[in-house]
């Protein structure tokens, strides 16, 4: 049994009516640790466990770290998550609920990650948040489930941080013979590392992240995320933080689900009629996110 669960695929009546076409939601927010990350991270952790790993290390204070903590608890493998001082109390509390040891180190993710690397000894496995083929193969299972449901989309909408979700969904489309299904890759304007890479023709490091969609905040995308935009139809789109936050509130109202702005970004594309006008069935990956609260989303919304 894999660590992730098969998730519901629902046709959203409110979103279909306003977008003028059938909108299908793949509800990855319902994974036990709150995001799609468990698919890839679960697959990576199970693979390392089978190879004899005795300890998992992560440097993500977000959904990737939570997925490693969940996977470790389920497999009986201890987990250490190194997070920077900027990590919220809420995120640290969620990690401790999964029995992970939380080490706070450094003022940025880079510093926390450097410290995490120094902890790695024999028998330890480092689980990357987005740049690992094991993750992509695991993420691809969400597209297998859509294919099994017999619903071929005309476009897939998803959000992009470091590009692991994008790379995994492309792998899933290709392994199901859906090479012709384009992917709309959405980022918030303050976290647009894929957009910058596609414009430059190579991965580039953003000077900083200025978006509230913290789970999209990889300053540089994985090389393989950029590479897959050359092997598969991928269109880059940008939305504002305000649009992403409004989409979170709308999903809560329409479907009683609370997600992070990182996920609101993908949903916000539906409010751009020209972006989806060419397609019939649109599939949105509702990637989820466990760390934001409604109070936080409202406070961010007030501030923008
Ligand atoms: C990790 C994450 C993303 C981005 O995924 P990448 O693989 O980094 O592109 C988007 N939304 C949520 C909720 C996430 O946790």
Give residue 107's pLDDT: 87
Question: Would the CB of 58 count as within 6 Å of ligand 1?
Answer: no
Compute the CA torsion angle 277, 278, 282, 283 (nearest 10 deg): -120
Ligand 1 nearest atom to the CA of residue 62, by list position: 15
Q: How far is the CA of 106 from the centre of ligand 1 (A)?
A: 22
Domains of the chain and any CATH numbers: 9-36+134-303 (3.40.50.1100), 37-130 (3.40.50.1100)
Residue 109 pLDDT: 84
Q: What is the SS3 assignment for 212?
A: coil
Distance 274 CA to ligand 1 centre (A): 25
List C-alpha distances in Å: 210 to 29, 206, 302.
Answer: 24, 10, 16
- CA–centroid distance, 215 to ligand 1, in Å, is 5
282: helix, coil or strand?
A: strand
Block residue for tokens 């961010």: 300
Instruction: Kindly give the number of the ligand 1 atom that is closest to the alpha carbon of 63.
Output: 15
Q: Ligand 1 in contact with 66 (CB < 6 A)?
A: no
The residue contributing the CA closest to ligand 1 atom 11 is: 262
Q: What is the C-alpha radius of gyration for the chain, rounded to an integer number of angstroms?
A: 18
Q: Is 289 in the pocket of ligand 1 (CB under 6 A)?
A: yes
- Ligand 1 contact, 162 CB (< 6 A): yes
| Cβ contact 229:201 at 8 Å | no
List the residue whose alpha carbon is closest to atom 7 of ligand 1. Answer: 164
Q: Which two tokens stand for residue 179?
A: 């090479």
- Contact 137 CB / ligand 1 (< 6 Å): no
Residue 260 CB–ligand 1 contact under 6 Å: yes
Element (H, E) at 217: none
Position 292 scores a pLDDT of: 87
Q: Give the pLDDT confidence score for residue 61 in this predicted structure.
A: 87
- pLDDT value for 86: 87
Q: From the CA of 254, how far away is ligand 1's center (Å)?
A: 22
Q: What are the DSSP calls for 136-178, one per residue? A: HHHHTHHHHHHHHTT---SEEEEE-SSSHHHHHHHHHHHHTT-
The protein residue whose alpha carbon is closest to atom 2 in ligand 1 is 215
Find the 262 Cα to ligand 1 centroid distance in Å.
Answer: 7
Per-residue pLDDT of the chain (304 residues; tens, 9 = 90+): 899 999 999 999 999 999 999 999 999 999 999 999 999 999 999 999 999 999 999 999 899 999 999 999 999 999 999 998 989 999 999 999 999 999 999 988 889 999 999 999 999 999 999 999 999 999 999 999 999 999 999 999 999 999 999 999 999 999 999 999 999 999 999 999 999 999 999 999 999 999 999 999 999 999 999 999 999 999 999 999 999 999 999 999 999 999 999 999 999 999 999 999 999 999 999 999 999 899 999 999 999 9
| Closest to 159 measured CA to CA, from 227, 234, 88, 108 | 234
pLDDT at position 234: 98
């Amino acid at each position: 049994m894999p660590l992730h669960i098969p998730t519901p695929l629902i046709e959203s009546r409110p979103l279909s009516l306003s977008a003028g076409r059938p909108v299908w939601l793949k509800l990855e927010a319902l994974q036990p640790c709150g995001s799609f990350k468990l698919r890839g991270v679960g697959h990576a952790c199970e693979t390392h466990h089978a190879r004899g790993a005795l300890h998992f290390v992560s440097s993500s204070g977000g959904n990737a770290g939570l997925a490693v903590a969940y996977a470790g608890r389920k497999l009986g493998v201890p987990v250490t998550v190194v997070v920077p001082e900027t990590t919220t109390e809420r995120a640290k509390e969620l990690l401790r609920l999964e029995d992970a040891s939380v080490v706070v180190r450094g003022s940025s993710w880079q510093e926390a990650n450097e410290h995490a690397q120094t902890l790695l000894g024999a028998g330890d496995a480092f689980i990357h948040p987005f740049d690992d083929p094991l993750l992509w193969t695991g993420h691809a299972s969400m597209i297998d489930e859509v294919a099994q449901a017999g619903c071929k989309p005309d476009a897939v909408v998803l959000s992009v941080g470091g590009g692991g979700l994008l790379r995994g969904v492309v792998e899933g489309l290709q392994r199901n013979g859906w090479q012709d299904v384009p992917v709309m890759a959405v980022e918030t304007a303050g976290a647009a590392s894929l957009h910058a890479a596609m414009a430059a023709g190579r991965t580039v490091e953003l000077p900083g992240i200025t978006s509230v969609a913290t789970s999209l905040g990889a300053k540089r995308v994985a090389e393989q995320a950029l590479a897959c935009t050359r092997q598969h139809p991928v269109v880059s789109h940008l939305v504002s933080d305000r649009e992403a936050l409004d989409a979170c509130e709308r999903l809560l109202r329409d479907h009683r689900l609370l997600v992070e702005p990182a996920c609101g970004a993908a949903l916000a594309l539906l409010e751009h009629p020209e972006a989806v006008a060419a397609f019939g069935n649109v599939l949105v990956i509702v990637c989820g996110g466990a760390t934001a609260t409604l109070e936080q989303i409202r406070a961010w919304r007030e501030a923008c």
